[in-house]
Amino acid sequence: MIKKTNTLKLTVSALLTAIAIVIPMVMPVRILIEPASFTLASHVPIFLAMFFSPGIAVAVSIGSAVGFLLASFPIVIVLRALSHVVFAYIGAKILYNRREEILSSPAKSTAFSFGIGILHGGAEMLIVSLFFFGIFPGTAYTEGFFYVVFLLVGVGTIVHSMVDFLLAQFIWKSMGDRVLNLSKKIQK
């Protein structure tokens, strides 16, 4: 049973990581206002991974950052993508025992999505702040701190995160009992 479970975890991790790597490379809907970028569905594999387990969520988050790196995004955006490990791990830990309760209630799933969006946006704001204040040589931004960090990155990330969570939730629910049974096997 242990070997079968490990194979399932590896397979799900690999598939979602592959999708997370490819999305930034091929997604046609992309808004880039550096240091902010919004690539449609870029968080969907991470959210789907969160529905399975914290380990899978972390692996897929790292894979997503690799995808942004391979797609030649600026380093600030790659590091923002790497910060997804924080919200993915915490969100997956919350969902681990309460997934069905949270996802079956529109109010609870919206509250969860908003809370994760705030954590997500906060981590990305921290990364951009390091660049804004020139902690990395040659990378200081000249636009206003409030505009760049709070509006573009903070609020923009919360909205983008919530949209992608909604997409992931729709995909998860549309897969039905098969994916639910698979996730229960992985969580054992």
User: CA-CA distances (angstroms) from residue 87 to 25, 81, 101, 142?
Assistant: 23, 11, 19, 28
How many residues belong to the chain? 188
pLDDT of residue 185: 72
Tens of pLDDT, residue by residue, the chain (188 residues): 456 668 888 999 999 999 999 999 888 767 887 777 888 899 999 999 999 999 999 999 999 999 999 998 888 899 999 999 999 999 999 999 899 899 999 999 999 999 999 999 999 999 988 877 776 655 656 667 788 889 889 999 999 999 999 999 999 988 876 676 777 777 66
Q: Residue 36 phi/psi, 5° resolution?
A: -90, 145
In terms of pTM, does the model score above 0.85? yes
pLDDT of residue 98: 92
The CATH label, of 3.30.450.40, 3.40.50.300, 1.10.1760.20, 3.90.960.10, for the domain at 2-187 is: 1.10.1760.20
Q: What angle do CA 128, 129, 130 make, to 5 degrees?
A: 90
The C-alpha atoms of residue 70 and residue 4 are separated, in whole angstroms, by: 32
For residues 86 and 54, is the Cβ–Cβ distance under 8 A? no
The C-alpha atoms of residue 188 and residue 184 are separated, in whole angstroms, by: 6
Q: What is the DSSP letter of 143?
A: S
Read off the tokens for 51.
Answer: 């529905």
